[in-house]
Amino acid sequence: MSRGLRIPPNRRDKMEIRSYGDLSGPFIPPARGGLASSLIVLLHGWGADGNDLADLAHPISVRFPGAAFFVPNGPAPCRMNPAGREWFDIDDRVNGPVAAAPVIDAAIAAALADLNLPASAFALAGFSQGGMMSLHCGLRHPEPAAAIISFSGALLLHEDLADGATYPPVLLVHGTDDQVVPFSLQAASRDVMQSRSIEVEAVACHRLGHGIDPDGLSAAIAFLAKHLPA
């Protein structure tokens, strides 16, 4: 998942496994202790699980010490890697995201209710297939989130996105050398969202393949700093 991310020993001793709705996975409480002032949900890529992104809580919480993190495992075993999980069958990019979305939405609603937080204090981010689901769910959530971030993902479906609706701001982060989810999909996704008057930023990570590097993570933290309560 990552390239050049030297994440020091983090708060895994504080990490626990929680279930919200039908999803379970790592939960990392706020670094400063006490009640959470915001919630960041991270959706892993195809064939991985929540542990793959849990370590991102450490660098992000330096800037957001009041944030809690929920990093759920995908709802189904990965067809090509049964040890990992998936959000939808990789060969079904139309019905798959539509079927997975209510499960993710219900988990987010349960987590927000548990933490007594409004949707305006919530950010949804994901990598690869998780980035696709972050865009799919985040742009359709009945209460707009504070921000959406997609690392190496793409907007799969857009016909139902209405002009003039209220959408969260979006950040697209993508490696220029990505051979799994082509870099060209970043511009295609950006153009569709801009046509719907969605506020979107795009960051190109040069010479990066399919992963997250320090530049992309720094861009994500800076983006969150503009939209999410610390």
Predicted confidence (pLDDT) per residue in 12-41, tens digit: 568 999 999 999 999 999 999 999 999 999
Within a domain: 184: yes
- Does the residue 9 lie in any domain? no
Asked if the structure places residue 1 within a domain, the reply is no
Q: Is residue 10 part of a domain?
A: no
- On whether residue 7 sits in a domain, the answer given is no
| Number of structural domains found in the chain | 1
- At 101-147, the pLDDT tens digits run 999 999 999 999 999 999 999 999 999 999 999 999 999 988 899 99
Q: Please state whether beta strands 67-70 and 23-28 pair in parallel, antiparallel, or not at all (unpaired).
A: antiparallel
Domain that holds residue 173: 16-227
Alpha carbon distance 146, 116 (integer Å): 16
**Residues 6 or more apart from 193 whose CB is under 8 A from it?**
139, 155, 158, 161, 167, 170, 200
**Close Cβ partners of 33 (under 8 Å, ≥ 6 residues apart):** none
Examine residue 4 and state whether it is found in any structural domain, yes or no: no
Q: Round the average pLDDT of the chain to a whole number and report it.
A: 94
pLDDT value, residue 5: 55
pLDDT in tens, 186-215: 999 999 999 999 999 999 999 999 999 999
Q: What is the pLDDT of residue 162?
A: 83
In the predicted model, is pLDDT for residue 47 greater than 60? yes
Lowest mean pLDDT among 7-11, 12-16, 61-65, 140-144: 7-11
Number of Cβ atoms within 10 Å of the Cβ of 14: 13
Whether residue 4 is predicted with pLDDT greater than 60 in this model: the reply is no
Find the helix or strand (DSSP H, E) in which 220 lies. Answer: helix 214-227
Structural domain includes residue 42: yes
- The pTM score is 0.94
Distances (CA, A) of 140 to 44, 101, 104, 114, 148: 19, 9, 12, 22, 11
Average pLDDT over residues 152-171: 92
Residue 79 lies in a domain: yes
Q: What CATH number is associated with residue 204? A: 3.40.50.1820
Reported as half-sphere exposure (CB side, CA atoms, 13 A), residue 19 has a value of: 3
pLDDT tops 70 at residue 161: yes
